[in-house]
Structure 1
Amino acid sequence: MSYPDYGPSYYGPPPQSHPQGTTILVLGILSLVVCTFIGPFAWSMGTRVLREIDASGYYYENRGMVQAGRICGIVSSVMLILTFGFLIFGFGIALLSGALSS
């Protein structure tokens, strides 16, 4: 038995989930907790997927997950840049103090 096709629903198309939403959230959380080097990947993937979601015009139920993963990636990337900045500054100070003491 088949049901008749009455056309589009009054409420619009059913909500969809972007296939990479969970991946971006997991990468963002892992970049904060385990490995900071994953942060830029979560940031770039999240930005790309948010552009895809906005361009599609459909409602994606996991947009919040993508945004959370992207924000975690941004925070992790900033922490990574600050860490490298402090390391370079520290090595520079150590080299200068070594050169000045001899």
Structure 2
Amino acid sequence: MSTNEPPAYPGDSTPPPVGGSQPPASGSYPPAGGYPPPGGYPPAPGGYGQAGPPKTNQKATASMVVGIASLVLGLFCGFLVIGSVVAIVLGFIARGEIIRSNGTQKGMGQALTGIITGFVLVALFLLAVVLLATGVVDYDFNVEG
């Protein structure tokens, strides 16, 4: 053997080279199975599982639209209590979904708008019922001239 051959690895069956050269101290060679795997590349940014920007909860939008429409139509065309109840229910459902989504959904303000407009219309309806029941407001609209 020549003196230019690399030293044997631990666990290698080849004898050490002749000529008095000593292999380096233990720990400088990789384990007996060969060289360790390469370090690899860093993970790609983003990845497959990440979502894009948060999406607006559709129930929050519906709550806001129904609440505002019920309030406007209720003030001009009479009280639409059914629409206000729908706005309140959708608003609370949407708020719960937005909170549980951990930031993947938005629309908390829209849900709150639906809830508030729904409660305002319910309050106005109850006020009208009380005023009519107590006789403060007369619902007889016959005008005799």
TM-score > 0.5, shorter chain as reference: yes
Residues 98 and 106, structure 2, Cα contact 8 Å, conserved in 1: no
SS at match of 1:20: helix
Q: Are 2:65 and 1:26 aligned?
A: yes
Structure 2 unaligned segments of length 5 or more: list them. Answer: 1-42, 75-79, 137-145
Structure 1 CA distance, aligned partners of 2:106 and 2:89?
A: 20
Structure 2 equivalent of residue 86 of structure 1: 131
- Gap runs ≥5 in structure 1: 92-102
User: 1:60 aligned to 86, 97, 105, which one?
Assistant: 105
Task: Return the index of the structure with the highest Cα Rg.
Answer: 2
Number of residue-to-residue matches in the alignment = 87
Does structure 1 residue 44 correspond to structure 2 residue 121? no
Which amino acid counterpart does residue 71 of structure 1 have in structure 2? I
Question: 1:71 deviation in Å?
Answer: 0.8
For normalisation by structure 2, the TM-score amounts to: 0.50
Superposition TM-score, scaled by structure 1 size? 0.68
Partner of 1:16: 55
Instruction: Note the alpha carbon deviations across 1:52-97, whole angstroms, 9 max, x for none.
Output: 2112222433221111111111111111111112222229xxxxxx
State whether residues 87 and 118 of structure 2, in contact with CA within 8 Å, keep that contact through their aligned partners in structure 1: yes
> RMSD between aligned alpha carbons?
2.8
2:65 is paired with a residue of what secondary structure? helix
CA distance in 2, matches of 1:80, 1:24: 19
Q: Deviations over 1:1-58 (max 9, x none)?
A: xxx95345xxx85211112222111111112110331112211211121112112222
